[in-house]
A = this chain, B = another copy of it.
Amino acid sequence: MAYSIEITQSTTRKQKPDPNHLIFGKHFTDHMFILDYSVEQGWYNPRIIPYQPITLDPAARVFHYGQTVFEGLKAYRTSEGRTLLFRPDQNFKRLNRSNVRMSIPELDEELAIEGLRKLVEIDQDWIPEVEGTSLYIRPFVIATQASLGVAPSHTYQFLIIMSPVGAYYAEGIHPVKIYVESDYVRTVKGGVGTAKTGGNYAASLKAQEEASGKGYSQVLWLDGVHHKYIEEVGSMNVFFKVNGTVITPELNGSILDGITRKSILELLASWNVPVEERTISIEELYEAHKNGTLEEAFGTGTAAVISPIGQLCWKDEEITLNGGETGELSAKLYDTLTGIQRGVLPDPFGWTMKL
């Protein structure tokens, strides 16, 4: 691969935050990667420059019509000082699927990975080494054309920024309380729910805010047609262990095709744990709880990896799962996945990419 990525080193280096008290996504490293797009040139001018503000015309379409996509992945420092990326190829494949859905031109995945590798290398002293920490990586695309009128932009910027992070939830791996949302809807089949685009997240804020007000840390989304089938939890995929079988909503055209989700399905298959990817209703789940067969529940995503669910509240009926404790399988999945990600455990799947 012979990509010519121009590098401009920052002349100053920022002070790094205390690795023992990292706040998710608050501090950013010294550099960022940028790639421009125009109809005439395609994607052009890949470069690494000092982390700096973006300057856009107020008419830039990102401000008006939400034409954006993003990704999230992490780099880890192993105890021997190696740097590992977790399945970056999957992220850039998904970025391109999101691009297609949002009428944004696809980009060269190899170039994106090369840009990411160079960026992490330059800012590698930003990867925190404290247990549970990592370098969160945020690739994103924004529509930059400075003209109104609802149509795909003619110009874009693709950027990668990076932030040293601790655990996503202040509570850590401890189980969280989840509110089952019966009124607000995240998205519906035929919409853009499968794309990692800003509007899906904006659409979730109000429900999240109201759930927080009731003392729940996330919302469990039901489908937009029947308000009864389970979709996602907050911005994570969701899994349930019922009577020994792990059940997760199938990729139905409205939920996100999570990379942690996919990795967990592959892990479970390798352990010969029975898994069902299928439609699952909230009634079925409550029924299983009544029968004593609902053993565990957890959300999965890059930020939190595994987020066990301690309580679910649906229509004023709160149920407690696994005594409110992290389940055995949840813990095993968390330990295995983070173990592979951090290079503590062997990686039989070839998921990690060494820098």
Contact = CB atoms under 8 A, between A and B. Distances in A.
Interface string A136-175: 1010101000011111100000010101000010000000
Interface in A66-113: 66-68, 70, 101-103
Interface residues of A, number: 68
A148 B199 contact: no
Given A190-B227, A191-B224, A225-B188, A58 B68 contact: no
A314 interface: no
Given A185-B189, A190-B183, A205 B151 contact: yes
Contacts of A26: 147-148
A213 to B, nearest CB: 11
A168 B151 CA distance: 13
Interface in A195-209: 197-206, 208-209
A298 interface: no
A24 interface: yes
A229 interface: no
A102 B59 contact: no
A30 to B, nearest CB: 13
Contacts of A189: 185, 224
Contact of A138 (B64, B138, B184, B205): B64
Given A136-B148, A188-B224, A224-B188, A65 B25 contact: no
Interface stretch (A4-12, A48-56, A237-245): A48-56
B62 A63 contact: yes
A98 to B, nearest CB: 11
A235 interface: yes
Chain A, interface SS category = loop
Contacts of A149: 24-25, 168
A174 to B, nearest CB: 18
A28 interface: yes
Contacts of A205: 65, 67, 102-103, 150-152
A23 B136 CA distance: 42
A154 to B, nearest CB: 12
A40 interface: no
Given A57-B53, A204-B150, A65 B198 contact: yes
A85 to B, nearest CB: 18
Contacts of A57: 53-54
A67 B188 CA distance: 19
Contacts of A185: 188-191
25 contacts: A24-B149, A28-B58, A28-B59, A32-B58, A51-B58, A53-B55, A54-B60, A54-B63, A55-B55, A62-B63, A62-B198, A65-B198, A65-B202, A66-B197, A66-B198, A66-B202, A67-B198, A136-B148, A150-B201, A188-B188, A191-B191, A191-B203, A199-B199, A199-B203, A224-B224
